[in-house]
Amino acid sequence: MRRATLRLVVAVVVLDLIALAIYQFADIAHTAPKIRVYFTVTWSVASALVAVTFLKKVRKARFSR
């Protein structure tokens, strides 16, 4: 279970690092508000999908004992 939890944390951190890099290098902060909203929604949905996917694996590891 610890390994599955660690993978969840690493996956979320990696996703956030990628999103932050895109935000910085694409200069999203200085774009139109509509683009910032799309970026934020996309990032949020991606984070939710990653979390749900890896939480299923944590749950499976927890109850497989």
User: What does the alpha-carbon distance between residue 58 and residue 62 come to, in Å, rounded to a whole number?
Assistant: 6
Give the pLDDT confidence score for residue 62 in this predicted structure: 86
Give the pLDDT confidence of 1-51 residue by residue, as tens digits: 889 999 999 999 999 999 999 999 999 999 999 999 999 999 999 999 999
- Classified as helix, coil or strand, 44 is helix
Give the pLDDT confidence score for residue 64 in this predicted structure: 81
Give the pLDDT confidence score for residue 46 in this predicted structure: 96
Please state the pTM of the whole predicted model: 0.83
**Band of residue 65 on the pLDDT scale cut at 50, 70, 90:** low
User: What does the alpha-carbon distance between residue 30 and residue 60 come to, in Å, rounded to a whole number?
Assistant: 43
